[in-house]
Amino acid sequence: MMSTPCPRSSSRTALLDAAQQMMTEGSVNGMTLDGVAAMAGVTKGGLIYHFKTKEALLHALVDRMTDQVAEYCAGDRPTDPAVALENFLIARIDYAFAIGPQQKAVMANLLAPVKRMYERGSGDLAQVAGSAGLALSVWTALDGMVMLEMLNIRQFSETERSQMREAMTLMVRRQFAELRGA
């Protein structure tokens, strides 16, 4: 027997999708609960059922984006912490270069709450002995690149992006090969 999706869950997803779309096109201040409900095709009461306040909606949107980053970077969980960190850094490099203009627009409009996403993601970077400098440097470089593009301060060409990605990936691979004694 095939199960049918829960309408409440799909309404919540529709509301988050609508909020994200509104954040792509405007700002936090311009987004209203009435506008989100209308765009999602949900009554205001339906919106309030899921999100009591605009702040709760914004936090849920940031949480969803954080979960997307975590899912993108998840992969296998090797027991060796060095291998796990190497895999995570490579996935994080890939993710940073995969972020599209719409997601950057949403992140720029959510700048204050997005801080939580970055704080949660960088907590364990200094965990593996001998790799803290590289891990923090790669994380900082990626955040800097994304922020520059997100805030329209600097748009990197595809050639520049490719060269940065290759250089960072090579640095991570070399560092962890040295740690393994390869």
The confidence score (pLDDT) of residue 1 equals 43
5 pLDDT exceeds 50? no
Per-residue pLDDT for 112 more than 80? Answer: no
Q: Which pTM was predicted?
A: 0.60
> H helices of 26-76, where?
33-40, 44-50, 54-74
68 near 17, Cβ under 8 Å? no
What distance in Å separates the CA atoms of residue 84 and residue 80, rounded to the nearest whole number?
A: 6
Over the range 123-142, which residues count as b (16 or more CB within 10 Å of their CB) and which as e? eebeebeebeebbeebbebb
Separation CA 70–CA 99 (nearest Å): 14
154 versus 131: which is more confidently predicted? Answer: 154
pLDDT > 90 in the chain, percent:
36
pLDDT of residue 51: 95
Distance of alpha carbon 130 from alpha carbon 68, whole angstroms: 29
Which residue matches tokens 């060269």? 163
pLDDT value of position 44: 93
CA 81 to each of CA 8, 70, 155: distance values in angstroms, whole numbers, following the listed order: 40, 17, 35
Look at residue 123 in the predicted model and tell me its pLDDT. Answer: 66
* DSSP state letter for 52: S
14-67 pLDDT, tens digit each? 999 999 999 888 777 788 999 999 999 999 999 999 999 998 999 899 899 888
Give the 3-state secondary structure of residue 128: coil
